[in-house]
């Protein structure tokens, strides 16, 4: 079988027969996000293009690094996007860039001298301003192990090629991404709140589509608990709310018995999608929705595309 397999923060997507470079997907997010969905972007595009009418609003109730919303808006697949995130630190970044204050953040990043001492000072600070909190989040996200946002993640000691905190510090790349987000910021709305409430708010909106990527904690899985400050998910309630939405939606989930059972009970469809996790272990995740006909042919091999010009392959 020809299959696609993805590397979360890696450079190369291996397929059953060919390797496809993940750099062909523009890295638009400001975050290195645990559980980030950059690898899913080709499928996201197919789903959005399969909609009969171009969606008026793309809603991402568990936004994290927000690659889905950014892709949808920057590639004109939807008119606007609403991102929701509960984590206060992650929210600070979104609040700054969606309010049109990205220029300040870009300048702060460009003028910062990154080294162990300065990174530790920024991370241990408790800033009152939203701007400085946003900056601290970026530093923390770039300089701690695996980009893990939950409390207690240590500073990178070795990093790549022994470069420590500099391993993932790409100020120009980040500034360029902030500028790109700024260009579309009027089409982006952010809410620092609970994603469940927004599902209720937009329940009857037929012009809305929803991309739902919750922390993976179903079936007693612990990964979500370790990776995020907010990881409690009532999976049953989420399925219940999603199945009541007027607009189309997809959920991405880990492939476990509890999730498969919820899918059946709520009359939804699920299809496995092969991927590689950060440890290069092969696994499948599930795409869940009302009608997944658009996924027919999912197993075809992606053609290698020209390398994305905006960033080196390793600048994730």
Give the footprint of ligand SAM on this chain (CB under 6 A): 33, 35-37, 61-62, 64-65, 67-68, 84-87, 90, 194-196, 213-215, 228, 230
Q: Residue 4 or residue 213: which is nearer to ligand SAM going by CB?
A: 213
Q: Residue 65 or residue 289: which is nearer to ligand SAM going by CB?
A: 65
Q: In this chain, which residue has its C-beta nearest to ligand SAM?
A: 64
From the number of C-beta atoms within 10 Å of its C-beta (0-12, 13-18, 19+), residue 280 rates as exposed
Q: Residue 87 or residue 164: which is nearer to ligand SAM going by CB?
A: 87
Q: CA of 32: how far to CAs of 39, 195, 300, in Å?
A: 13, 21, 28
Q: Residue 213 or residue 248: which is nearer to ligand SAM going by CB?
A: 213
Q: In the bound complex, what is the minimum distance in angstroms from residue 68's beta carbon to ligand SAM?
A: 6
Q: Residue 88 or residue 125: which is nearer to ligand SAM going by CB?
A: 88
Q: In the bound complex, what is the minimum distance in angstroms from residue 31's beta carbon to ligand SAM?
A: 6
Q: Residue 166 or residue 273: which is nearer to ligand SAM going by CB?
A: 273
Q: What is the 3-state secondary structure (H, E, C) of the chain?
A: CCCECCECCCCEEEECCCEEEHHHCCCCCCCCCCCCCHHHHHHHHHHHHCCCCCCCEEEECCCCCCHHHHHHHHCCCCCEEEEECCCHHHHHHHHHHHCCCHHHHHHHHHCCCCCHHHHHHHHHCCCCCHHHHHHHHHHHHHHEHHHCCCCCCCECCCCHHHCHHHCCCCHHHHHHHHHHHHHCHHHEEEECCCHHHHHHHCCCCCCEEEEECCCCCHHHCCHHHHHCCCCCCCHHHHHHHHHCCCCCEEEEEECCHHHHHHHHHCCCEEEEEEEECCCCCEEEEEEEECCCHHHCCCCCCCCCCCCCCCCCCCCC
Q: Residue 30 or residue 166: which is nearer to ligand SAM going by CB?
A: 30
Q: Residue 86 or residue 286: which is nearer to ligand SAM going by CB?
A: 86
Q: In the bound complex, what is the minimum distance in angstroms from residue 197's beta carbon to ligand SAM?
A: 8
Q: In the bound complex, what is the minimum distance in angstroms from residue 232's beta carbon to ligand SAM?
A: 7
Q: In the bound complex, what is the minimum distance in angstroms from residue 111's beta carbon to ligand SAM?
A: 27
Q: In the bound complex, what is the minimum distance in angstroms from residue 311's beta carbon to ligand SAM?
A: 17
Q: In the bound complex, what is the minimum distance in angstroms from residue 298's beta carbon to ligand SAM?
A: 19
Which region holds residue 284: left if phi is over 0, alpha if psi is between -120 and 50, else beta?
A: beta
Q: In the bound complex, what is the minimum distance in angstroms from residue 41's beta carbon to ligand SAM?
A: 9
Q: Residue 57 or residue 84: which is nearer to ligand SAM going by CB?
A: 84
The bridge status of strand 80-84 relative to strand 57-60 is: parallel
Q: In the bound complex, what is the minimum distance in angstroms from residue 235's beta carbon to ligand SAM?
A: 12
For helices 88-98 and 130-143, angle between their N-to-C axes, nearest 10 degrees? 120
């Amino acid at each position: 079988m020809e299959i696609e397999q993805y590397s979360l923060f890696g450079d190369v997507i291996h397929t059953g027969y060919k390797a496809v470079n993940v750099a062909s997907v523009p890295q638009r997010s400001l975050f290195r996000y645990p559980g980030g969905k950059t690898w899913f972007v080709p499928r996201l595009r197919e789903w959005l293009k399969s909609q009969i009418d171009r969606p008026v609003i793309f809603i991402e109730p568990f936004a994290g690094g927000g690659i889905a919303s950014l892709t949808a808006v920057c590639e004109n697949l939807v008119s606007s996007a609403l991102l929701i995130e509960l984590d206060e630190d992650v929210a600070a970044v979104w609040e700054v860039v969606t309010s049109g204050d990205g220029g300040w953040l870009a300048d702060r990043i460009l003028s910062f001298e990154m080294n162990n001492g300065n990174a530790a000072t920024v991370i241990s600070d408790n800033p009152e301003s939203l701007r400085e909190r946003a900056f601290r989040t970026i530093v923390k996200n770039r300089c701690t192990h695996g980009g893990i946002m939950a409390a207690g993640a240590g500073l990178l000691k070795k990093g790549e090629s022994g470069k420590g905190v500099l391993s993932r510090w790409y100020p120009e790349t980040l500034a360029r991404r902030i500028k790109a987000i700024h260009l579309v910021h009027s089409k982006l709305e952010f809410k620092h709140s609970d994603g469940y409430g927004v599902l209720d708010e937009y329940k009857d909106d037929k012009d809305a589509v929803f991309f739902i990527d919750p922390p993976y904690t179903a079936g007693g899985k612990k990964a979500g608990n370790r990776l995020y400050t907010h990881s409690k998910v009532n999976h049953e309630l989420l399925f219940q709310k999603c199945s009541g939405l007027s607009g189309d939606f997809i959920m991405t989930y880990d492939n476990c018995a509890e999730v498969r059972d919820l899918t059946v009970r709520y009359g939804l469809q699920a299809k496995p999608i092969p991927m590689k996790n950060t440890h290069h272990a092969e696994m499948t995740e599930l795409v869940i929705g009302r009608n997944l006909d658009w996924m027919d042919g999912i197993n075809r091999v992606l053609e290698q595309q020209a390398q994305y010009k905006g960033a080196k392959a390793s600048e994730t």
